[in-house]
Structures are given as structure tokens and as C-alpha cells.
């Protein structure tokens, strides 16, 4: 048994403009009453020996129940004729029972699939995985080790099914504000009524915006701090004071609240709770506030430093020190990045031939032009040779690449977003390249340039 948010009892009790997700109490109450009616109707099958049911909640928050009904021996359905008394796999007669006919046509029709719609979700290897269309059967037949083949006579009744499916929009339960576009997509999903597509969310006053942030800004959703307040009100339930201070600093940097002082005053008590509780130095209230403010400022500065890389001047000037071969490689790679052309390049050379020097110059010029450049190394020592270098742990890359090992980076995660936004990725120690090829896969069409610094000669330049 499933819950339907369009039940009259639910719609009549909702306030104007209120969505079902905000009334779980009403949904559960109505579902429970209808469940009791359904349980009472089980007696239609005969004498019941046992009834067991369990509740589950779907991702949209709607409940449903699974029933297991065991009939007594005298009431068990043991013949095709007995099945036909309760199960019908035929279209009802529209003139005799128009209401039942309308329900079956609306809720119980499969497809179209097959040749009429080969791209339907049920299609696999050119066939419907649910085995539609079903063959006609004049009578119910017991299945041999499978489901029964119910009576489905060719009574001449037919209906044309035309289903218009939009682009599915996922539900973003929690999103960190530092994830930029995903966060603003969540803001739009929570505030835009009845969205039907991503383009619908991006459209403001008939104009399609380029980003979700732009759409949220033009819709006036960023001029008020309601969403930030809700975020901070929910956070103390599961976060410690130190995490709340980090969250507050993140919101200050990424969301630019209109009235930051009001937010600070409102949530100051929960952000300073640990300082007040462990006040071993017997600090005054003013001193405790100072510590909270200082720590918040430090976190904000750390976040800001990650997004504002100061390119060393000496690395920019080092272009003149490259020999002809390095300069040739530099112009190829830099040109590909600036021209927004994809590609994978492998630079081969023995140790000490200046591969790292070449990449310092390349990274400096890429970043100087305002692009994002990633540097990934296998070890911490190797990553420390480059400005803002990262190890495998930064992108959750496993060292073991045997069968069955999965990368832990989701396509919708912040790491994937960072990879997709980067114009170039430099990977040191190319002989471990198999561990890093996921970077090409996870970024899809957004990824621009992949470069590996290779220390052996047998790898071919591509």
C-alpha cells in the first residue's frame, strides 16, 4: 500500500500554498487511517491466519506498507479459478465501471516502450526487462518456478498511452555552501514552486541565467538571510560549537549575508558554548566573544587563501629560462588550456631534466590568467614541491586499483566540481598513472587538460 499526496483528506487539510513535505504529521495520520481500512478489507480473501506488515518511507518522505497475508487452509487459493476471483490483468469495461477504468489507465499502464519508445527506462538490450507487451492468455496458468500467467483475454479493449516525462530533478538534502552551484541549486529547489526542469530554475523574468547563483540573485533569494538562518538553526542539533564556528565562517565567505551581525548575535550562544563551559581561565564575557570572533576570522582567512593563490613572480619570469624543448612543450600545453581544448599529454624524461621546473612555469602562467590548476602527487614530499599541491587523499583516490575497488568521489561532490572547473591537472610520477585516470572519467566533458610528468621512456607521448 502506498501513500498518495493527492488524497482529498491531505489536500483539504493543507493551508494555502503549503507543500506536503512540510506536513509529515498530516500525511502519516491520513495514511494510518487508510491503512486500518485496508487491513479490515483483508477479510475478503477468506479466513486469515496471520497478517504481518512493515512501514517504510520513500525518499520524498511518503510512507508505504508491505503486507504478508497467510490464509487458513480452508481459504487458500489453490486453483486458477480462485486466482481469477481476486486478480484481473485485463482492462475494465469503460461503460460498466468508468471509475475503475480511469484508475487503471492512469496508474497501472506500462510504457510505451519497445519500438514505440526504445529509450524508455525499462529497455535493456533492445527489450523490455519487464517483458512487455504481455502475451494474451485465455485462462490463468500456474507458473513453473515463476509467477503465474494471469488471464489476459483479447476482448478488443485498448488504450493509447502517451507519457510526457521531464528531466528528473534530484533532491538535495544537505549541501555545504562551499559547493557553490550545488548550494544555489538547493536554494532554488526550496524556493521555486513546481519546477519542471533545470532550465525552468534558471529562468527569471523570461531570461535564462547562466548559473544557479545568478538565478538565485535575480530572484531576490540572496537579498535576505532566511535560508542562512534556517541552516544555522538546524546545525546545533548535530554539530559541536567548533563546527558551528566553522559553518558560520563558511556562510560568511560564500553566502555574503546581508546582516552578518544579526546572525552572529542570534547564534553566538551556541557558537561559544564550549568556551563558556570550559572557562578554566575565568574569562569575562567580552574575552569569550573575542575568542569566538578571532577564531571565526582565522577560519575565514583560511578559506579565502584557498581561493586566492598568489603566483610567484619568479615562476612567471622563469619562462625565459626554458630551453627550446621545454619551451615547445610549454606553448603546446598552455595553448591547449587557453583555447579550451581537451587532451591528455605525457612528458617523458629522465630525472633531473627539468620536468618539475617546466610545470612550475606552466602552473604559474595558467593561474596568472585566472584559471584553476590542480597539482596531484602520490606522496606528500612530491606534492610539497608545487604551490598548492595535493596528495591522493585529497581526492579520495585508492592506491589499490584491483577489480572491485571503487573510487569514493561522487559526480555531485565538491571534489568532482573542483576537478570539472579546473583548466589543467598535473600528475607527477606517471608510472602510477592507472590510479589517476579516474580524473578524466569523473570530469566528463568539463575536464580540459590532463598532464602527467613521466619518469620512464617507454610511455608514448599522446
What domains, with CATH codes, occur in the chain?
Answer: 1-76 (no CATH), 93-165 (no CATH), 177-307 (no CATH), 313-454 (3.40.50.300)
pLDDT recorded at residue 421: 55
359: closest CA among 381, 339, 388, 399?
Answer: 388
Question: Which three three-digit cell numbers place residue 55?
Answer: 512501514
Q: What interhelical angle do 241-255 and 285-307 show, nearest 10?
A: 50
pLDDT recorded at residue 306: 59
Q: What interhelical angle do 260-271 and 241-255 show, nearest 10?
A: 170
Pairing type for strands 207-208 and 203-204 reads antiparallel
The strand pairing partners of 127, in sequence order, are 124
- Give residue-wise pLDDT tens across range 357-413: 888 888 888 878 777 777 777 667 766 777 767 676 666 666 555 555 565 665 545
User: 360 by DSSP, 3-state: which?
Assistant: helix
Question: Which three three-digit cell numbers place residue 222?
Answer: 540572496
Q: Is the link from the previous residue into 223 a cis peptide, with omega within 30 of 0?
A: no
- Give residue-wise pLDDT tens across range 122-158: 888 888 988 888 888 888 887 666 678 889 888 777 7
pLDDT recorded at residue 400: 58
pLDDT recorded at residue 449: 40
423: closest CA among 327, 357, 339?
Answer: 339
Question: Which three three-digit cell numbers place residue 59?
Answer: 525518499
pLDDT recorded at residue 431: 44
Q: Work out whether the CA dihedral 301, 303, 308, 310 comes out positive or negative.
A: positive
Query: With left for phi above 0 and alpha for psi between -120 and 50, is residue 279 left, alpha or beta?
Result: beta
CA 321 to chain CA centroid, nearest Å: 46
pLDDT recorded at residue 62: 85
- Give residue-wise pLDDT tens across range 88-117: 888 888 888 889 888 888 888 887 888 888
Residues of the chain with pLDDT under 70: 59-60, 143-146, 162-174, 176, 178-180, 279-281, 302-303, 305-308, 340-342, 378-379, 382-383, 388, 390, 392-462
Give the DSSP H/E element, type plus range, for residue 304: helix 285-307
The strand pairing partners of 348, in sequence order, are 454
Q: pTM value?
A: 0.39
pLDDT recorded at residue 216: 86
Diameter of the chain by CA atoms?
Answer: 95
386: closest CA among 374, 371, 370?
Answer: 374
Q: φ and ψ at 120, to 5 degrees? A: -65, 155
User: 233 by DSSP, 3-state: which?
Assistant: helix
pLDDT recorded at residue 441: 43
Please, what's the b/e burial string for 184-221 (b: 16 or more CB within 10 A of its CB; e: otherwise)?
A: bbbbbbeebeeeeeeeebbbbeeeebeebbbbbeebeb
Amino acid at each position: 500500500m502506498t501513500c498518495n499526496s493527492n488524497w482529498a483528506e491531505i489536500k483539504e487539510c493543507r493551508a494555502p500554498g503549503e507543500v506536503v513535505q512540510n506536513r509529515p504529521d498530516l500525511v502519516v495520520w491520513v495514511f494510518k487511517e487508510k491503512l486500518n481500512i485496508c487491513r479490515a478489507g483483508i477479510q475478503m480473501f477468506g479466513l486469515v491466519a496471520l497478517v504481518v506488515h512493515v512501514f517504510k518511507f520513500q525518499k520524498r518522505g511518503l510512507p508505504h506498507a508491505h503486507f504478508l497475508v497467510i490464509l487458513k487452509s480452508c481459504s487458500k487459493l489453490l486453483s486458477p479459478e480462485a486466482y481469477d476471483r481476486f486478480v484481473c490483468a485485463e482492462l475494465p469495461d469503460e461503460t460498466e465501471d468508468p471509475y475503475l477504468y480511469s484508475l487503471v489507465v492512469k496508474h497501472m499502464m506500462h510504457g510505451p516502450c519497445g519500438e514505440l519508445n526504445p529509450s524508455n527506462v525499462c529497455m535493456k538490450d533492445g527489450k523490455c526487462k519487464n517483458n512487455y507487451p504481455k502475451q494474451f492468455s485465455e485462462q490463468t496458468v500456474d507458473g513453473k518456478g515463476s509467477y503465474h500467467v494471469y488471464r489476459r483475454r483479447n476482448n478488443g479493449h485498448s488504450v493509447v498511452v502517451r507519457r510526457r516525462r521531464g528531466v528528473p530533478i534530484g533532491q538535495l538534502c544537505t549541501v555545504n555552501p562551499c559547493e557553490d552551484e550545488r548550494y544555489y541549486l538547493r536554494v532554488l529547489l526550496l524556493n521555486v514552486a513546481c519546477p519542471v526542469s533545470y532550465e525552468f530554475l534558471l529562468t527569471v523574468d523570461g531570461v535564462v541565467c547562466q548559473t544557479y547563483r545568478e538565478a538565485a540573485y535575480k530572484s531576490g533569494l540572496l537579498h535576505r538571510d532566511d535560508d542562512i538562518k534556517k541552516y544555522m538553526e538546524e546545525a546545533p542539533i548535530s554539530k559541536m560549537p567548533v563546527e558551528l564556528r566553522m559553518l558560520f565562517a563558511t556562510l560568511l565567505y560564500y553566502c555574503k549575508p546581508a546582516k552578518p551581525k544579526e546572525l552572529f548575535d542570534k547564534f553566538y550562544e551556541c557558537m561559544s558554548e564550549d568556551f563558556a563551559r570550559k572557562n578554566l581561565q575565568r574569562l569575562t564575557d567580552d574575552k569569550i566573544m573575542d575568542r569566538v570572533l578571532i577564531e571565526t576570522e582565522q577560519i575565514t582567512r583560511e578559506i579565502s587563501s584557498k581561493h586566492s593563490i598568489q603566483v610567484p613572480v619568479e615562476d612567471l619570469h622563469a619562462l625565459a629560462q626554458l630551453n627550446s624543448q621545454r619551451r615547445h612543450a610549454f606553448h603546446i600545453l598552455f595553448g591547449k588550456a587557453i583555447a579550451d581544448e581537451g587532451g591528455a599529454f605525457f612528458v617523458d624524461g629522465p630525472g633531473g631534466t627539468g620536468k618539475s621546473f617546466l610545470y612550475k612555469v606552466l602552473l604559474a602562467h595558467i593561474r596568472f590568467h585566472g584559471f584553476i590548476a590542480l597539482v596531484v602527487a602520490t606522496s606528500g614530499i612530491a606534492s610539497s614541491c608545487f604551490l598548492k599541491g595535493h596528495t591522493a587523499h585529497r581526492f579520495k583516490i585508492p592506491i589499490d586499483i584491483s577489480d572491485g575497488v571503487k573510487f569514493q568521489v561522487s559526480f555531485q561532490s565538491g571534489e568532482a566540481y573542483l576537478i570539472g572547473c579546473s583548466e589543467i591537472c598535473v600528475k607527477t610520477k606517471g608510472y602510477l598513472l592507472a590510479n589517476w585516470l579516474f580524473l578524466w572519467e569523473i570530469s566528463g566533458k568539463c575536464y580540459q587538460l590532463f598532464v602527467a610528468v613521466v619518469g620512464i621512456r617507454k610511455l608514448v607521448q599522446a
